[in-house]
């Protein structure tokens, strides 16, 4: 059989622990036997990041800017324990944070559905993708504990020497608490652009929700920026593709989501997205069935699994025990990247291959061949969960 040629390079970003073990298996058993592809390889193993003073992470992000499409394995974000474990020069920053900042991107998480795991919300038939604005609000706040009576104000002093503006927040007559938050027009716009880009790319409706009835300046600005971006750049495209941009209040959105079939992108403010993405992930099943894509408004895409390096399973693997770790989200990171590459290159056979690999993975699970995490929640239950390697082998033969 001749291999399918992938025309342009995909940026491959290798990672740590159990996901690194599965990453190699996926490439060796599910990709290289079928694809003739050139990869631009960056090894983000924690020791490599340490050796290069984290230059490798910056280089990987630059490569995604150059080639447009990246696929990333999970990586350790070091804490004190990891600094000791890997004898690190310093506590390097989260690679995902670095890459996200360099690409100016927004992260979208999307669940992979199989027939034998029913979502906790029984009306959900299609994935609900959550887009979380990852800048500002309560995550970059200023807080004060108020000890007793006094006046709390917000004050803005213009850099150009213009008139200072101030407003009373509260005249305290006893102890309390105070918080100041902010956001930036540029960041909100970039978030809006990433959301419209992804919804259009995947041909799904876009929902956006804030609380502008209560927050008439702050949340209202989010609504205005989204609405302006829609009118200016997407209205016609959405109409042609038969897609809807739907704005509603956050509480109305929550109520509707619980009764909807799914199959849309829900753009959320930072806090809403933090909370709702965990609710949606848990209601759909396993963390190992959740993919994640970083979309930059400049047209770069980076695909990965939403879960981490599965540390506990890795220690088991290292001590020679059999593991049962689910590679589905890692496989879908690759298929996401391949589909995008094929689309950009105009090579439908690459897109077709990626779709078949996705189907083979889903069919394998639906045929009752699954790892421990899925065996716990599937109906009917399989006789026994398969090992990490067996799962990939069965997908390969299915493929
Ligand atoms: P994790 O790797 O997501 O795993 C947490 C637990 O979820 C696992 O112990 C396992 O539960 C279950 N799980 C996750 N993925 C699974 C899979 N593919 N198959 C089966 N079960 C799966 O989170 P963590 O162990 O807290 O974090 C480990 C490291 O990952 C940390 O160093 C963190 O910095 C890093 N991390 C990286 C990323 C990223 O690169 N995107 C994201 C998050 C975390 P059971 O033990 O019950 O089987
Ligand atoms: Mg959260």
Could you tell me which residues come within 8 angstroms of residue 69 by beta carbon, excluding any fewer than 6 positions away? 10, 11, 300, 301, 302, 303, 337, 340, 341, 344
Length of the chain: 399
The residue to which tokens 């059989």 are assigned: 1
What is the pLDDT averaged over residues 47-55?
98
Do 316 and 215 fall into the same domain? no
Percent of the chain, pLDDT > 70?
100
- Determine which helix (DSSP H) or strand (DSSP E) holds 294, and give its type and residue range: strand 290-295
Do 80 and 228 fall into the same domain? no
Percent of the chain, pLDDT > 90?
91
In a domain, 23, yes or no: yes
Whether the Cβ atoms of residue 6 and residue 338 lie closer than 8 Å to each other: yes
In a domain, 381, yes or no: yes
Please tell me the number of the ligand nearest to residue 280's CA.
2
pLDDT in tens, 147-193: 999 999 999 999 999 999 999 999 999 999 999 999 999 999 999 99
Residue nearest to atom 30 of ligand 1 (CA): 308
In a domain, 19, yes or no: yes
Residue where one domain finishes, among candidates 157, 180, 203: 180
pLDDT in tens, 284-337: 888 899 999 998 888 899 999 999 999 999 999 999 999 999 999 999 999 999
Q: Is the pLDDT of residue 1 over 80?
A: no
Do 327 and 229 fall into the same domain? no
Please tell me the number of the ligand nearest to residue 281's CA.
2
pLDDT in tens, 354-393: 999 999 999 999 999 999 999 999 999 999 999 999 999 9
pLDDT band for position 97 (cuts 50, 70, 90): confident
**What residue numbers bound the domain in which 345 lies?**
1-105+288-399
In a domain, 113, yes or no: no
Query: Per the structure block, which two tokens stand in for 6?
Result: 């992938």
Measured in Å, residue 212 CA sits from the centre of ligand 1 at 36
Do 275 and 192 fall into the same domain? yes
The total number of structural domains that make up the chain: 3
Residue nearest to atom 32 of ligand 1 (CA): 76
In whole angstroms, what is the distance from residue 308 CA to residue 381 CA?
26
Ligand 1 binding pocket, CB closer than 6 Å: 74-77, 96, 287-288, 304, 307-312, 325-326, 371, 373
In a domain, 112, yes or no: no
What is the pLDDT averaged over residues 54-71?
98
Please tell me the number of the ligand nearest to residue 392's CA.
1
CATH number at residue 19: 3.40.718.10
pLDDT in tens, 201-257: 999 999 999 999 999 999 999 999 999 999 999 999 999 999 999 999 999 999 999
């Amino acid at each position: 059989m001749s291999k399918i040629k992938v025309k342009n390079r995909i940026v491959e970003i290798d990672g740590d622990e159990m996901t690194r073990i599965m990453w190699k298996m996926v490439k060796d058993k599910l990709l290289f036997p079928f694809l003739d592809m050139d990869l631009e390889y960056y090894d983000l193993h924690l020791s490599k990041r340490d050796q290069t003073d984290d230059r490798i992470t910056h280089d990987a992000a630059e490569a995604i800017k150059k080639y447009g499409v990246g696929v990333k394995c999970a990586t350790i974000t070091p804490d004190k324990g990891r600094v000791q474990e890997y004898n690190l020069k310093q506590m390097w920053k989260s690679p995902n944070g670095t890459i996200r900042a360099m690409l100016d991107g927004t992260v979208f998480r999307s669940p992979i559905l199989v027939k034998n795991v029913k979502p906790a919300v029984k009306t959900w038939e299609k994935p609900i993708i959550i887009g979380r604005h990852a800048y500002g609000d309560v995550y970059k706040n200023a807080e004060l504990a108020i000890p007793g009576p006094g006046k709390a104000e917000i004050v803005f002093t213009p850099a150009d020497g213009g008139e200072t503006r101030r407003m009373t927040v509260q005249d305290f007559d006893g102890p309390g608490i105070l918080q100041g938050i902010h956001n930036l027009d540029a960041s909100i716009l970039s978030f809006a652009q990433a959301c419209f880009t992804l919804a259009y790319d995947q041909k799904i409706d876009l929902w956006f929700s804030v609380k502008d009835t209560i927050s008439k300046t702050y949340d209202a600005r989010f609504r205005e920026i989204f609405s302006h971006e829609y009118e200016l750049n997407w209205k016609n495209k959405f109409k042609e593709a038969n897609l809807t941009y739907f704005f509603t209040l956050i509480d109305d959105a929550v109520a509707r989501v619980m009764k909807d079939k799914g199959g849309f992108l829900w753009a959320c403010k930072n806090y809403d997205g933090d909370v709702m993405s965990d609710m949606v992930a848990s209601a759909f099943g396993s963390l190992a069935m959740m993919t994640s894509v970083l979309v930059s408004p400049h047209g770069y895409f980076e695909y990965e699994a939403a879960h981490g390096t599965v540390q506990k399973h890795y220690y088991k693997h290292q001590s020679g025990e059999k593991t049962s770790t689910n590679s589905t989200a890692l496989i879908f990171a690759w298929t996401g990247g391949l589909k995008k590459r094929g689309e950009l290159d105009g090579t439908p056979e690459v897109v077709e291959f990626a779709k078949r690999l996705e189907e083979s993975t889903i069919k394998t699970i639906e045929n009752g061949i699954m790892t421990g995490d899925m065996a716990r929640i599937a109906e009917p239950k399989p006789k026994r969960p398969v090992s990490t390697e067996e799962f990939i082998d069965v997908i390969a033969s299915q493929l």
